[in-house]
């Protein structure tokens, strides 16, 4: 059995290696939410911020590569002077439940701290229970009633 090498790469949303993350996340958001939030669907959210929002000194964009292929990633941008806002945390659908999202989350936390942030803020969609569980398991505090049905 071959050992797969994972590596982190800080880059830009315009990097060709970011395409699998952006395309898969757009499809996933469209599948889960459709036009629930707006008529344009996920494309509106994915194009909401310019690439510079996820670039140093105030942000960063991370890819997790396995043997050179994009298998996960995420980003952060400035929320306020001491708070980073995490966005776009994703892992390839065929590789979930292997701890990759946790690795991405921990690396983003470390990089945000290296860039001077003291806190992290993030949001996740109500149709993404696995993301909600990831964040709660890793010490994040919900700012809403996690037992309430958001679609009522």
pLDDT score, position 2: 62
Q: Residue 146: its pLDDT value, please? A: 60
pLDDT reported for residue 96: 85
> Can you tell me the distance from the alpha carbon of 42 to that of 103, in angstroms, rounded to the nearest whole number?
25
- Residue 21 sits in a domain of what CATH number? 3.40.630.30
pLDDT for the residue 32: 77
144 falls within a domain = no
What confidence score (pLDDT) does residue 143 get?
79
The total domain count for the chain is 1
Question: Is 61 domain-assigned?
Answer: yes
Would you state the pLDDT for residue 148? 61
Residue 112 sits in which domain range?
Answer: 6-137
Q: Would you call 17 exposed, middle or buried from its count of C-beta atoms within 10 A (0-12, 13-18, 19+)?
A: middle
Is 149 domain-assigned?
A: no
Q: What is the pLDDT of residue 128?
A: 79
pLDDT value for 120:
97
Q: What is the pLDDT of residue 127?
A: 75
What strands lie across the sheet with 6-11, from one edge to the other?
6-11, 60-66, 69-80, 83-91, 119-122
Residue with tokens 């996820």: 54
Per-10-residue mean pLDDT for the chain, 152 residues long? 82 96 88 77 83 97 96 97 95 88 97 98 82 88 68 58
Domain assignment of residue 129, yes or no: yes
Residue 26 lies in a domain: yes
Q: What Cα–Cα distance (Å) separates residue 15 from each residue in 11, 64, 70, 104, 120?
A: 7, 13, 11, 18, 25
> pTM for this one?
0.86
| Burial of 76 (C-beta count, 10 Å sphere; 0-12/13-18/19+) | buried
pLDDT at 42: 78
Report yes or no on 97 lying in a domain.
Answer: yes
Q: Is residue 67 part of a domain?
A: yes
The confidence score (pLDDT) of residue 122 equals 92
Q: Establish if 27 belongs to a structural domain.
A: yes
Element (H or E) spanning 87, and its range? strand 83-91
């Amino acid at each position: 059995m071959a050992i797969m090498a994972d590596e982190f790469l800080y880059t830009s949303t315009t990097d060709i290696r970011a395409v699998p993350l952006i395309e898969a996340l757009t499809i996933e958001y469209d599948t889960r939410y459709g036009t629930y939030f707006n008529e344009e669907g996920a494309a509106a959210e994915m194009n909401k911020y310019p690439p510079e929002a996820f670039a140093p000194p105030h942000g960063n964009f991370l890819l997790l590569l396995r043997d050179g292929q994009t298998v996960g990633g995420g980003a952060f941008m400035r929320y306020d002077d001491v708070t980073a806002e995490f966005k776009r945390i994703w892992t390839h659908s065929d590789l979930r439940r292997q701890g990759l999202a946790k690795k991405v989350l921990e690396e983003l936390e470390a990089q945000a701290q290296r860039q001077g942030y003291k806190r992290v803020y993030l949001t996740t969609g109500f149709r993404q229970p696995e993301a909600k569980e990831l964040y709660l398991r890793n010490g994040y505090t919900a700012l809403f009633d996690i037992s309430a049905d958001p679609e009522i």
